[in-house]
Amino acid sequence: SEERSLNFIEQIVTDDIANGVNDGRVLTRFPPEPNGYLHIGHAKSIALNFGLAQQFNGKTNLRFDDTNPVTEDTEYVDSIKADIRWLGYEWAQELYASDYFEQIYEFAVTLIKKGLAYVEDASAEQIAASKGTPTTPGTPTPARSRSVEENLDLFTRMRNGEFKDGEKTLRAKIDLASPNMHMRDPLMYRIKHTHHHRTGDKWCIYPMYDFAHGQSDSIEKITHSLCTLEFIPHRPLYDWFIKELEIFPSHQYEFSRLNLTYTVMSKRKLKQLVEEKYVSGWDDPRMPTISGLRRRGYTPASIRQFCERVGVQKREQMIDLGLLEFCVREELNKTANRVMAVLDPVKLVLTNYPEGQVEEMTAENNPEDAAAGSRTLHFSKTLYIEREDFMEEPPKKFFRLGPGLHVRLKNAYIIKGESVEKDADGNITTIYASYLPESKSGGDHSGMTVKGTIHWVSAEHAATAEVRLYDRLFKSENPSAEEGDFKDFINPESLQVIKEAYVEPGLLQAKAGDRFQFMRKGYFTVDPDSTPEKVVFNRTVTLKDAWAK
């Protein structure tokens, strides 16, 4: 990888190690809430957390932040693990915040005993009112002056299920006049009589994010707890709880979240797209999810490369979707075998080619990789070429096929356009051309040079394939910032399905996930919907330049 200067987080870790903080130990964590599939934004956090540990001889825990029983599910746990591994990372320990419920409860009891937490009777609205406004201090509720004994008793009864949802909460007793609203007696626990995907019905009180995240970090002795910028105002609270509990001092650092153009990145919105069937599922190739990108043909290395190029900043930024595409194109250019696929086929008959003759042509698999070898293609009298590669009345600089125009068929012969046959509507059904027998690729004695080269497949040998072409899912560069519903900005033409494309027959052997360059057409991958009779391809990304334009 290229030399670059340290980002601000790497600098902090470097300084901590130099200063002997935590004896130079580095332990990060990736803390997904199992309430959806991972997306490319999570990949940035994964690359950062796991990358730091790799760089500084540390470790990374995978911790499921499963403190909200309402939205969580084991289906998500499994997909998250699979996606992290696919990205190329392995965690030191698989942990669950819910495993700390007992300990977090004990932490709460400790704070109650210190007179630093109280059981609140007020409703959500009354609590909000008690906090005042950013310009006026809050006012204590009657519950704020409860005795330690009363608070201990009420908190035990909360745990025992004596109260209904919303009837009581536990609040930290900090400062109702703090300039930081998060310090104005924030909630620590709420009552939810809801089944939890791991703890079942054992608990009916659940800690809030602010009283679970830092505590979990501390229990695991996380050294550097990285989160996104919106948690900056939570940091004083994170530090306050740790200080008052006198527990291991994990530290929180904030970086900017990844935003991508023409995409939405909140799990809530992605879930809506799935549930309301705007897409076929979490792994629809148009989704910015890791599973969607995988099905689209993205490689783990291209996603890691993207995260590296995006870098780590302290200010919000919007990244061009084109950068993600650039990263996968760069990699596939080096690694994907070239094949010929005709997506919009029209028949081409070579008038002077012997009927019934079949020749074997040698085709290089990848000009960027000599080790990729070559394959044999069958050539015959009747071929398919792209409809757009022929024009009846070509303009001046059209270097493809037309009446009287010469073009090379890739890995085969130079041909010359002659005539066409049309149906009743005037659509070309067959193109007739003659070939130059002396012009065979690899042994061309024709003395002719032609400017254009086009791809083809032999009609009797070709296999039929379905090809799915994808465009960006949204018409708006930033659908979340638009007025109204983000779904109003969905691109209605984000998926185009070609039912009958013709491809080299060798592609029938391709397996789901295999990647190819369809020459002049882009990079494609085999979709899991493929059957032994019919391969389905997804276009990962177009080519930047085609060789005959």
Catalytic residues: 33, 257, 267
**Is residue 59 part of an annotated ligand binding site?**
no
CB 419 within 8 A of CB 403: yes
Candidates 8-16, 28-36, 239-247, 303-311; binding stretch for Mg ion (CB under 5 A): 28-36
Residue 288 as a binder of ligand ATP (CB under 6 A): the answer is: no
- Contact segment (CB under 5 A) with Mg ion among 29-37, 66-74, 479-487, 492-500 equals 29-37
Could you say which residues in the range 11-40 bind ligand ATP, by CB under 6 A? 31-33
Q: Where do we find the tokens 């300990």? A: 103
51 touching ligand ATP, by CB under 6 A: no
Q: In sequence order, what are the beta bridge partners of 226?
A: 253
Binding mask 258-277 for ligand ATP (x = CB under 6 A): x------xxx----------
94 labelled binding-site residue = no
Closest contact distance (angstroms) between CB of 66 and ligand ATP is 10
Two tokens at 65? Answer: 């932040």
265 is in an annotated binding site: yes
Using CB under 6 A as the binding rule, whether residue 67 contacts ligand ATP is answered as no
Those residues with Cβ within 8 angstroms of residue 187's Cβ, 6 or more apart along the chain or in another chain: 127, 169, 170, 171, 208, 210, 211
Are 493 and 446 a contacting pair, CB within 8 Å? Answer: no
The conformation of residue 209, written as its DSSP 8-state character, comes to G
Q: Is there a binding annotation on residue 114?
A: no
Q: Does 197 bind ligand ATP (CB under 6 A)?
A: no
> Inter-axis angle of helices 74-87 and 40-55, to 10 degrees?
60
Compute how many other C-beta atoms are within 10 angstroms of the C-beta atom of residue 60. 25
Helix, strand, or coil here: 424?
coil
376-409 as b/e, with b when 16 or more CB fall inside 10 Å? ebebbbebbbbeebbbeebeeebbbbbbebbbbb
C-alpha 377/C-alpha 361 separation (Å) is: 5
Q: Is 224 in the site for ligand ATP (CB under 6 A)?
A: no
What's the min distance (Å) between Cβ of 256 and ligand ATP? 8
List 13, 26, 27, 45, residue binding ligand ATP (CB under 6 A)? 45
- Minimal distance, residue 46 CB to ligand ATP, in Å: 8
Contacted entry of ligand ATP, Mg ion, none for residue 42, CB cut-off 5 to 8 Å set by kind: ligand ATP
* 47 vs 154, beta carbon nearer ligand ATP: 47
CB of 42 to ligand ATP, least distance (A): 5
How far is residue 98's CA from residue 119's CA, in Å, rounded to a whole number? Answer: 22
What is the Cα–Cα distance from 300 to 514, expressed in whole angstroms? Answer: 14
Size of the site for ligand ATP (CB under 6 A): 15
- CA dihedral for 62, 67, 69, 71, sign (positive or negative): negative
Q: Looking at beta carbons only, is 45 or 458 nearer to ligand ATP?
A: 45
Binding site membership for ATP: which residues?
A: 33-35, 39-45, 228, 257-258, 265-267
Residues binding ligand ATP (CB under 6 A): 31-33, 41-42, 44-45, 65, 227-228, 257-258, 265-267
Binding stretches for Mg ion (CB under 5 A): 33
